[in-house]
């Protein structure tokens, strides 16, 4: 999935193309006689704009839906690729994919990037001050790759590899980042391997309308793997999709991360993104533990067009025992949907969201969850 945070930088350009192009995805027959590779849908577009942290930037992005086999009942695979370069010599290269093999016996998931890009940093914890924000710049290599094997219909087990290498860290020597007592301020690699348990009965990967999704993973970051830090990461996510009036959907989700050990600053759980706790800058609140709950109602209003309303709560904490009901922060918002590919159920979305003393605007492909 292409990140809505990134796409918001050039949202006007994409929004115009969505409004005035009725057939954005081109289905190209790559091999009429082959059962191994049927067709691919492609949406490619330039990116450009301006941000205070980056100055003027330009680049390109592409989103793909992939039919790997001649099975009309199998869900299509998908991938995206984006490159951005700025006048401040900052750059991002992102490549992400979910590849489903025949009868979904095996699935490959990848989320990989190379970047030099500034980020805001407020501090650690659930109650950081808005006035403490500052820019921290670094180079990062991030590699996450997952191999899943189907053991029963809709049930998968697998292995997960994750690497984040942060280097060339630059920050104010008198600022909040320098004075925060947390590992990893000078960078270093975090390298881990783990296992995954997954149940997935969704009817579509990118725009589900019914079914359930459960994900549990445990990743061990170890010195023997080249990691500069030793810690364990646990992730648990559960989603439920309920059809209403045959054309509307009520989507429910909980997403949770728990970390134990010496966790570097960039590997802490980060609240906020285009998919969870919309309205908050990613990492405005960060700590070892993170829990969130959200609900979204998706309503079809006319042909390809739809609207949504969503709300959620989330919080971070240093220890599990510190998580409490009165520490939750709110997120509310709404959005517009346009189905750019009716065959593979691919939506483009524009979301507006508000949090506690903050807000966000997102343009992305596929639903938030």
**Confidence check: pLDDT of 268 > 90:** yes
Task: Quickly state the pLDDT bin for 47 (edges 50, 70, 90).
Answer: confident
* Buried b / exposed e along 284-293 (16+ C-beta atoms within 10 A): bbbbbbbbbb
Q: What does the pLDDT read at residue 30?
A: 43
Q: How many CA atoms lie within 13 A of 126 on its CB side?
A: 22
Task: Quickly state the pLDDT bin for 55 (edges 50, 70, 90).
Answer: low
Cβ atoms of 38 and 30 closer than 8 Å? yes
Interval 118-135: pLDDT, tens: 889 999 999 998 888 899
Q: What is 4-365's CATH number?
A: 2.40.160.50
Domain layout of the chain by residue ranges: 4-365
Q: Map tokens 């959620």 to a residue.
A: 312
Task: Quickly state the pLDDT bin for 164 (edges 50, 70, 90).
Answer: very high
Cβ atoms of 190 and 167 closer than 8 Å? no
- Specify the 3-state DSSP secondary structure of 323: coil
The DSSP output letter for 268 is S
Other CB atoms within a 10 A radius of the CB of residue 172 amount to 13
Q: What does the pLDDT read at residue 321?
A: 97
**Diameter over CA atoms, the chain:** 65
Task: Quickly state the pLDDT bin for 335 (edges 50, 70, 90).
Answer: very high
Q: What does the pLDDT read at residue 51?
A: 59
Task: Quickly state the pLDDT bin for 9 (edges 50, 70, 90).
Answer: very low
Interval 166-202: pLDDT, tens: 999 999 999 999 999 999 999 999 999 999 999 999 9
**Confidence check: pLDDT of 7 > 50:** no
- Specify the 3-state DSSP secondary structure of 203: coil
First to last CA, the chain: 10
Task: Quickly state the pLDDT bin for 57 (edges 50, 70, 90).
Answer: confident
Cβ atoms of 343 and 357 closer than 8 Å? no
């Amino acid at each position: 999935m292409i990140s809505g945070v990134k796409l918001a930088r050039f949202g006007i350009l994409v929004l115009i193309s969505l409004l005035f192009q009725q057939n954005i995805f081109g289905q190209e027959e790559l091999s009429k006689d082959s059962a191994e590779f049927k067709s691919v849908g492609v949406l490619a577009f330039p990116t450009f704009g301006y941000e205070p942290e980056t100055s003027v930037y330009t680049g390109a992005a592409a989103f793909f839906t992939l039919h790997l086999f001649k099975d009309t009942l199998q869900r299509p695979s998908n991938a995206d690729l984006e490159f951005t370069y700025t006048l401040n010599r900052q750059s991002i290269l992102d490549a992400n994919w979910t590849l489903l093999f025949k009868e979904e016996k095996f699935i490959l998931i990848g989320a990989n990037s190379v970047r030099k890009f500034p980020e805001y940093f407020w501090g650690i914890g659930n109650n950081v001050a808005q006035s403490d924000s500052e820019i921290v710049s670094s180079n990062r290599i991030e590699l996450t790759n997952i191999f899943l094997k189907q053991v029963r219909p809709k049930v998968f087990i697998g292995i997960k590899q994750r690497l984040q290498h942060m280097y060339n860290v630059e920050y104010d020597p008198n600022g909040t980042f320098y004075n925060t007592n947390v590992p990893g301020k000078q960078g270093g690699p975090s390298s881990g391997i783990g296992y995954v348990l997954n149940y997935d009965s969704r009817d579509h990967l990118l725009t589900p309308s019914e079914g359930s999704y459960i994900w549990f993973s445990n990743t061990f970051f170890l010195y023997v793997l080249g990691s500069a830090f030793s810690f364990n990461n646990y992730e648990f996510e559960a989603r439920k999709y309920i059809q209403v009036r045959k054309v509307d959907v009520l989507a429910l989700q909980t997403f949770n991360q728990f970390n134990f050990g010496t966790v570097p600053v960039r590997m802490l759980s980060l609240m906020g993104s285009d998919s969870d706790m919309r309205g908050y800058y990613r990492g405005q609140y960060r700590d070892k533990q993170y829990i969130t709950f959200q609900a979204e109602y998706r309503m079809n209003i006319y042909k390809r067009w739809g609207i949504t309303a969503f709300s959620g709560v989330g919080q971070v904490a240093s220890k599990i025992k510190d998580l409490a009901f009165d520490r939750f922060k709110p997120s509310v918002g709404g959005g517009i949907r346009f189905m750019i590919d009716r065959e593979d159920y691919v939506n483009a979305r524009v979301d507006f969201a508000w949090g506690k003393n903050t807000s966000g605007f997102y343009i992305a492909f596929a639903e938030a969850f």
